[in-house]
Amino acid sequence: MNPELNKYRVGQGMFRTTAADGFNGMFLFTIKGERLKIIASDGEGWKHVSVSKQDQPTRVPNWELMCAVKELFFGDAWAVQFHPPKSEYVNNHPGCLHLWQPDTHFPTPDSLLVGYKQKTPDDVKKESKSEALANYISANKCAASEREI
C-alpha cells in the first residue's frame, strides 16, 4: 500500500486503524472538492474499497472520483466494479460504490474491444458510422490474427 495514504487514515474513534493494519482501514479524503469516505479491506483473496461522499451519503461518486480513488489505492493496475445478477444484489448503503482487485490474475478484455487507444473522442466523432465499423472489424481481425501466432 502507498504509505502516503496513512496521512488520511482515521486514527481515532471506533474506526481507528494504524499503518500496522496495512490496506485495512477507513480513510477520509477531499478529491476535486468532494469529501470522500473510503473503507479499504483485504481478505478472502481480494482487495476492496468502498467509496461514498461524506456530505451527500446517498449520492454515488462519479467516474472521475472513482478513477482518482482507484489510482490512490490500486495504482496503475486493474481494479473492477462488479454488476452482479439481480439475485445477488446487495445495497446496504445506496450512495456507496465499490472497487475490487483479486490477489491473483484474472482475465481482462483487450483494449481494442473498447476502442482505439491512439484516437481521441474528436477523432472518433469525425468518422462516419461505416468508417468506424470498417476500422473496428479490420482492427479486430488484425488483433485476432496476432493472438493466433
Note whether 18 and 53 are same-domain residues: yes
Note whether 84 and 40 are same-domain residues: yes
pLDDT at 147: 46
Residue ranges of the chain with pLDDT lower than 50? 143-149
pLDDT at 141: 63
Kindly tell me the burial class for residue 70, based on how many C-beta atoms sit within 10 Å of its own C-beta (0-12, 13-18, 19 or more): buried
Q: Which domain holds residue 121?
A: 111-148
CA 1/CA 148 separation, integer angstroms: 37
pLDDT at 140: 64
**pLDDT tens by residue, 79-115:** 999 999 999 999 999 999 999 999 999 899 888 888 7
Note whether 89 and 126 are same-domain residues: no
Note whether 44 and 82 are same-domain residues: yes
DSSP string, 50-104: EEEESS-TTSPP-HHHHHHHHHHHH-SS--B-----GGG---SSTT-EEEEEESS
